[in-house]
Amino acid sequence: MADSTLLVVNGTVYDHDGDTDRPARADILVRGGRIAEVGAGIAARLAAAGERADETLDAGGMLVLPGFVNAHYHSHDVLMKGAWETPPLEIWLMKALPPSYPKRSREEIKLRALVGAWECLRGGITTIQDMVTLAPWDPDHLDAVLEAYDEIGIRAIVALQFADIPGIASIPFWEEVVPKKFHAVLSGGIEPPKEKVDLFDVVEQQYRRHAARHPRITWGLGPSGPERCSRRFLERLAALSEAEDLPVYTHIYEGKYMALHARQAYGKHGGSLINWLGEVGLLNPRMNLAHSVWLLPQEIERLAQTGTNVVLNPVGNLKTRSGVAPVRQLLQTGVNTALGCDNCSCSDVQNMFQAMKLFSGLTAVSDPEPGPPSAPEALRAATLAGAKGARLEGRLGALKPGYAADFSLIDLGDPSFVPLNSVARQVVYTESGRAVRSVVVEGRVVLRDGRLTQVDQDALREAVERAMVALRKDMAEVGARVDAIHGYLMEAYRRVWAADVGINRYVGHGRL
Ligand SMILES: [Zn+2]
């Protein structure tokens, strides 16, 4: 594998810096998992010299598109896609996330990682940032996730998600509105482990244990949210990130309740979680802020000044009634803005085509002026921006020499591209993922003609059906417990909506 060659012949090769409407035909030569050369006539030259690639892919009639970087994703609730309608974020996370559930089997953990990666690859996503929650903490479960990525062939930036402050303490009104007898049911999306462990030590040990595991798997740090982590935990993570140049992923202002909690509990920091992150050393180009829906204008300015990255997840934000992120202001201020598909049970899909289309269209709710983001900008957000936040700038997200050979072959004979007016605009506004035929990660064909090459997808599907027997039973029990206090939770939720946090990210609230 290290020195093997792959030749992709006669494709329409997308270049972010070239003609994004009508990209040129070109061949791509891959050596040892990296792009060695892109241009016309490479195949003919090699043939004339009597050289043969180990594998040749005929890309005639195909668009060769850089693999998408799904810059915010969680493998822990993959098996719950489509399980709920539209619960508010605070209610959804109790039904969906690991703290509410008994310990899962190792097999289930691996299966869910495989199915999530399968869905991603099927839609041209070649890199996932898995901010994975494993609760209760078990290092063997992390091994199961990594085994899944080793086997299926996807690229992953893995960050264990942890927090050391209980989730319910950071959700306004819960403790006062929900009667005491139900408090044991309340949980955040992440809770401190019940076992006596030093979370920072766990994170550092796992990073050191797996840092050199595989070139496709890189490491990140995943404090769940700054309001759910102590100063000491955050400062130690900041120091490790700086020393090892590790990207950091965290959730910021996903729901309005997080902004309200910031105003109430972070008065010393101007009511701002962004100021708090700055104080603990976590506002810098290594930091990636997932969601960023309820950012204040001055907070956006500070992100731009410090080179802090944002990862928007528009599909999940709509499902959980979280509001619409300030897309245009982020772009106009110069914040590096990537895209993700977030949890499988709140966006219900790992599909960057949907994410790009909403990213481009949602500015309509706050700004009637036509303008950014354009389709080529959406494609950059879905590739280069996520790579930059992961500290992989110049190595991932484009089809140029020196970059990782991560790309998909998309059928230009699909109705999405007939007739072909603009590749970029039809990828962003028309295509759904239907035309993705084959996917290459690190020079290896991991999806061919729509099917996985490294994993038996029929056996995988059957194994998932068997695992669902236990999970469905637990989902019903957890759901019933949460439904019993639904009225209280909705009252707390409505109180949040009635509060003034200085901005509104939900146009028409109370008026439509
Ligand atoms: Zn998330």
pLDDT score recorded for residue 141: 98
CA 315 / ligand 1 centre spacing (Å): 12
Cβ atoms 72, 125 nearer than 8 A? no
CA 343 / ligand 1 centre spacing (Å): 6
Can you tell me whether residue 433 is helix, strand or coil?
coil
CA 54 / ligand 1 centre spacing (Å): 40
CA 471 / ligand 1 centre spacing (Å): 21
Can you tell me whether residue 226 is helix, strand or coil?
helix
pLDDT score recorded for residue 511: 45
CA 342 / ligand 1 centre spacing (Å): 5
CA 346 / ligand 1 centre spacing (Å): 10
- 110: part of which helix (H) or strand (E)? helix 106-122
pLDDT score recorded for residue 447: 98
CA 318 / ligand 1 centre spacing (Å): 14
CA 159 / ligand 1 centre spacing (Å): 12
CA 163 / ligand 1 centre spacing (Å): 13
CA 322 / ligand 1 centre spacing (Å): 13
Question: 73 — phi, psi (to 5°)?
Answer: -155, 150
CA 73 / ligand 1 centre spacing (Å): 6
**What is the Cα–Cα distance from 235 to 212, expressed in whole angstroms?**
25
CA 224 / ligand 1 centre spacing (Å): 8
Residue 414 vs residues 23, 89, 426, 427, 435: alpha-carbon distances, Å: 17, 37, 11, 11, 6
CA 74 / ligand 1 centre spacing (Å): 6
Tell me which amino acid residue 67 is.
G
Distance of CA 321 to the CA centre of its chain: 19
Residue 286 vs residues 223, 248, 272: alpha-carbon distances, Å: 13, 6, 20
- Tokens in use for 448? 């061919």
pLDDT averaged per 10 residues, the chain (length 512)? 88 98 98 97 96 97 98 97 88 90 97 98 98 94 98 98 86 92 82 83 95 92 95 98 98 95 96 98 98 97 98 94 93 97 93 98 86 96 98 98 98 98 98 98 98 98 98 96 94 93 75 41
CA 305 / ligand 1 centre spacing (Å): 24
CA 78 / ligand 1 centre spacing (Å): 13
CA pseudo-torsion sign 316, 319, 324, 327? positive
Cβ atoms 457, 451 nearer than 8 A? yes
CA 326 / ligand 1 centre spacing (Å): 18
Residue 275 vs residues 76, 151, 223, 302: alpha-carbon distances, Å: 30, 41, 16, 9
CA 328 / ligand 1 centre spacing (Å): 22
Residues β-bridged to residue 162: 223
CA 285 / ligand 1 centre spacing (Å): 19
CA 225 / ligand 1 centre spacing (Å): 10
CA 121 / ligand 1 centre spacing (Å): 20
pLDDT score recorded for residue 71: 98
CA 458 / ligand 1 centre spacing (Å): 29
The DSSP bridge pattern shows strands 34-39 and 25-31 to be: antiparallel
pLDDT score recorded for residue 287: 98
pLDDT score recorded for residue 213: 85
